[in-house]
A and B are shown apart, each in its own frame.
Chain A
Amino acid sequence: MLALSPMEQSALMLSLNASAQAVLWSLPLAIGLGWLLGSRRFPGHALLNAVVHLPLVLPPVVLGYLLLVLLGRNGAIGGPLYDLFGIRIAFSGEAVVIACAVVGFPLLVRAIRQSAEAIDPRYARAARSLGASELRIFVTVTLPLMAPGILTGITLAFARAVGEFGATITLAGNIPGRTQTLPLALFTVTQSPGTEAEAMRLCLLSLALAGAALLASESIARRMTPVRAAT
């Protein structure tokens, strides 16, 4: 793989794997919440919206610490998980996925919510008048019309997860080959003198990944807009 060292390759693969898993696991909930926030008004709407978007404005280290408090061996969730099933989340590969999922989640929900808001409610009314159930309308009309938002959200959340640092190092640590993602590898390299070339290589790799994700997001949005605009 080009001229990457084993440590760099491992960090790259770990970043890609954890980011992909983070997006995949959080997608169903994000679709549900994005649709709910974008197409329904209910008491507590603003509060739910604020809670979902909180990770976007909180310092990632704060997020990581809160997650550690919850998921650590003595945490409200981590404690029972360890005591009952022997599952240890903090400082594991799963912790990386969780940290990536939490920081990317608001971007995922936000893009889906915006696409849900843009759907003309008359599509659902037309479908109802044709005898369709609410589930059929969601699957056959709403979901396909939300697809541009879902794909944009996936690419943005993935890009955010690949670049995640603060929450990951706090919750998962910086264990080479296990929890050391690309940004953590770059951080580690910059702590030693004479590693400028290595640091620049990791830096360029991160730039390339982020750029590719943003380009993909733009391209998806451009391609799918005409479908949404047509009536």
Chain B
Amino acid sequence: MIEIHLRHKQGDFRLDVDLALPAQGIIGLIGRSGSGKSTLFSCLAGHIRPTRGCISLFGRALYHSEQKIHIAPAQRGIGVVFQDGVLFPHMNVHRNLSYGAQNVGTDFWHEVIAALDLAHLLEARPARLSGGERQRAAIARALMAEPDLLLLDEPVSALDPGLKARTLDLIARVQERTRVPMIFISHAPEEVRRLCDQVVTLQGGCIRSVTAAGAPARPYPAPAEAGRLRCAR
């Protein structure tokens, strides 16, 4: 389960989120530019400290303003994949993948490399990779740290349509094989519909709706859930 109850103020912008979802499969987080996706991403990853509220993942508090809990990003167990990969440019793909793979088993290492078709690219420097290859390597690098949750921040938005479709299919396959829950952030509804089991829509810093795959959108929070959307103590 992932629980997010946040109030965050940044200049004129307010993020006001109450969300509790099973952390499984791929959760889509969709919204237009300025809806709060990036702020929520930064709060989850621990890059910024929300004004108040709490975040917990599988019952473990990552942030709790009242209990003064703020787990450092390095200890959160949350992997991140940025829009343009952000591979370390001075390391080849193998060294990028090894960076967070401190205790990873050989089987998992080979599984991820095979799933993302990276075996022939291990010696290449990031500058030599295409956009799609770079994203595949970035996803693999994040998975090698064996995260409890993987955040993908618009990972295909910079790719051309054909490559975008192939990369989305690849992400779905990788999720099935590794079973690592993912949050897929995007501003494109068609990407999220194609990929995600649940879709959370953000608008103006608030959650507008939560939709299960194939089901109609429902307003959020649903009346039955509204009463229990509080930070656990």
Which residues does A use to contact B, with CB under 8 Å? Answer: 120, 122-123, 125-133, 140-141, 144-145, 147, 226-231
Contacts and interface: CB of A to CB of B under 8 A. Distances in A.
B89 A130 contact: no
B90 A132 contact: no
22 contacts: A123-B86, A125-B45, A125-B47, A128-B46, A128-B73, A128-B74, A129-B73, A129-B78, A129-B79, A129-B145, A130-B79, A130-B99, A130-B145, A131-B74, A131-B102, A131-B145, A132-B74, A144-B90, A230-B125, A230-B127, A231-B86, A231-B89
Given A126-B80, A128-B46, 19 more contacts: A120-B86, A122-B86, A125-B45, A126-B82, A129-B45, A129-B145, A130-B141, A130-B144, A130-B145, A131-B100, A132-B99, A141-B88, A144-B90, A145-B90, A228-B89, A230-B127, A231-B84, A231-B89, A231-B126
Contacts of B78: 129
B72 interface: yes
Contacts of A122: 82, 86
A141 B88 CA distance: 7
Q: How large, as a class, is the contact surface on chain B?
A: 20 to 34
Nearest to A127: B99
Contacts of A230: 89, 125-127
Contacts of A226: 127
A231 to B, nearest CB: 5
Contact of B80 (A125, A141, A147): A125
Contacts of A227: 89-90, 127
Contacts of B88: 123, 126-127, 141
Nearest to A143: B90
Contacts, number: 72
Contacts of B75: 131
A149 to B, nearest CB: 14
B10 to A, nearest CB: 16
Contact of B85 (A132, A144, A147, A231): A231
| Chain A binding surface SS class | helix
Contacts of B80: 125-126, 129
Contacts of A128: 46, 72-74
B142 interface: yes
| Chain B binding surface SS class | loop
Contacts of A130: 74, 79, 99-100, 141-142, 144-145
A145 B89 contact: yes
Nearest to A226: B127
Contacts of A229: 89, 127
Most chain A C-beta atoms within 10 Å of own C-beta, residue among B47, B75, B84, B102? B47
B174 interface: no
Contacts of B102: 131
A230 B125 CA distance: 9
A229 B85 CA distance: 13
Contacts of A120: 86
Interface in B125-164: 125-127, 134, 141-142, 144-145, 147
A1 B125 CA distance: 44
The 8 closest A-B pairs by CB, nearest first: A130-B100, A230-B127, A128-B73, A230-B89, A129-B80, A144-B90, A122-B86, A130-B145
B100 A132 contact: yes
Nearest to B90: A144
B87 interface: yes
Contacts of B45: 125, 129
B142 A129 contact: yes
A229 B76 CA distance: 29
Contacts of B127: 226-227, 229-230
Most chain A C-beta atoms within 10 Å of own C-beta, residue among B45, B86, B87? B86
A52 B132 CA distance: 44
B74 A129 contact: yes
A39 to B, nearest CB: 15
Nearest to B87: A231
